[in-house]
């Protein structure tokens, strides 16, 4: 439960308190539990070529970061399980500005990253007998004279180019670089990413289920079963090459949004899948409807929920320890 409480604490902070610079400091406190933490600041990210992630944060006075947290609890040096989280500490939408009515909730747009951080704390505290790595991309999506424009084209860490048609389809840009980096650096057995990625998933599933998208049936089954056990439910949604045409761009390898054809949460997942380059078993959890609660429930009085910490802990206990 420690990890859930930590994640909920992070998720509950307003954007003026938990900006990326502060978030990095809080993650760093977890070193004392035995996590190996590496912080990639803007200088390092530029050198690596993480232009998709950097573009999202370039309008903010706060720094942008990629942070890795490693837990090596297995007896051998086996490849880790990897968990990747979207950490947009506040999301105005950028120049593709959000309506005021919905903007206040965007302090929760880092919920996926909070779950990953909470999970890693949990694994360290209980001395889990596995190797795992958590990777979070931390940015603030703001409007300024230096912010990204609709129509900009960026070259991602993978080398693929992206046309930014909408600056509010930013979470997938952060995850694109984080996913490729995670796969390349850690060669994980599997990757699970979590993100408050699309409003479209709330249209589909409300606040009862998170959307599950995956390239791997076995991993999907394990996640669905773990979710049912801990009452953090998932519903599998389609991925299919026929959706790809909706995000193909005339000016770059892809565009970051589709304005025609619907299927907003699926096209976002198809976009992410393009950054899994080595066929690693991968699952994407779109938790936009689950990250915070206006009403509260049996386990939560409302606000940030830490959805996913218990689910992923159960996945690990049941299948990988």
- CA-CA distance, 222 to 237, in Å (whole number)? 15
The per-residue pLDDT for 295 is: 73
pLDDT at 70: 99
The pair of three-digit structure tokens given for residue 157, joined into one six-digit string:
């860490």
Average pLDDT over residues 134-161: 99
User: In sequence order, which residues have a C-beta less than 8 Å from that of residue 59 and are 6 or more positions away?
Assistant: 94, 141, 142, 143, 144, 146, 147, 148
Which one from 8, 86, 121, 172 is the annotated catalytic residue?
Answer: 172
Residue 98 phi, psi dihedral angles, 5° rounding: -75, 155
> In whole numbers, what is the pLDDT of the chain averaged over residues?
97
Closest alpha carbon to 271 in 176, 204, 159: 176
Active-site residue identified among 98, 126, 155, 233: 98
Written as six digits, the tokens of 60 are: 């903010």
Tokens of residue 169, six digits: 């389809």
- 252-310 pLDDT, tens digit per residue, is 999 999 999 899 999 999 999 999 999 999 999 999 999 998 776 655 567 899 999 99
Q: Is the model's pTM score more than 0.75? A: yes
Query: What pLDDT sits at residue 301?
Result: 63
- How high is the pLDDT of residue 296? 64
C-alpha 218/C-alpha 241 separation (Å) is: 20
Annotated active-site residue 172? The verdict is yes
The residue behind tokens 């909920």 is 8
- The yes-or-no answer on residue 36 being catalytic is no
Residues 57-113: tens digit of each pLDDT: 999 999 999 999 999 999 999 999 999 999 999 999 999 999 999 899 999 999 999
Domain annotation for the chain: domains and CATH numbers: 2-319 (3.40.630.10)
d(CA 238, CA 252) in angstroms, rounded, equals 25
């Amino acid at each position: 439960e420690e990890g859930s409480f930590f994640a909920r604490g992070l998720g509950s902070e307003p954007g003026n308190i938990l900006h990326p610079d502060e978030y990095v400091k809080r993650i760093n406190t977890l070193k004392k539990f035995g996590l190996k933490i590496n912080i990639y600041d803007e200088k390092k990210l530029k050198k690596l070529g993480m232009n998709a992630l950097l573009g999202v944060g370039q309008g903010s006075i706060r720094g942008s970061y990629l942070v890795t947290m490693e837990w090596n609890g297995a007896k051998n040096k086996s490849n880790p399980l990897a968990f990747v989280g979207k950490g947009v500490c506040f999301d105005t939408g950028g120049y593709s500005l959000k309506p005021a009515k919905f903007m206040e909730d965007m302090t929760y747009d880092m919920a996926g990253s909070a779950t990953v951080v909470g999970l890693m704390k949990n694994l360290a505290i209980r001395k889990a007998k596995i190797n795992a790595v958590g990777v979070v991309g931390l940015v603030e999506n703001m409007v300024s004279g230096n912010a990204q424009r609709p129509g900009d084209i960026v070259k991602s860490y993978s080398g693929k180019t992206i046309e930014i048609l909408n600056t509010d389809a930013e979470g997938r840009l952060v995850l694109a670089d984080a996913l490729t980096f995670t796969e390349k650096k850690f060669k994980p057995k599997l990757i699970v990413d979590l993100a408050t990625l699309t409003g479209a998933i709330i249209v589909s599933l409300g606040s009862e289920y998170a959307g599950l998208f995956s390239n791997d049936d076995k991993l999907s089954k394990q996640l669905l079963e773990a979710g049912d056990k801990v009452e953090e439910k998932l519903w599998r949604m389609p991925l299919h090459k026929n959706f790809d045409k909706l995000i193909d761009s005339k000016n770059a390898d892809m565009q970051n949004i589709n304005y025609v054809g619907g299927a907003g949460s699926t096209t976002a997942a198809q976009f992410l899948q393009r950054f899994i380059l080595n066929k690693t078993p991968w699952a994407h959890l779109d938790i936009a409807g689950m990250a915070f609660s206006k009403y509260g429930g049996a386990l939560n009085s409302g606000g940030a929920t830490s959805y996913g910490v218990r689910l992923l802990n159960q996945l690990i206990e049941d299948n990988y320890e």
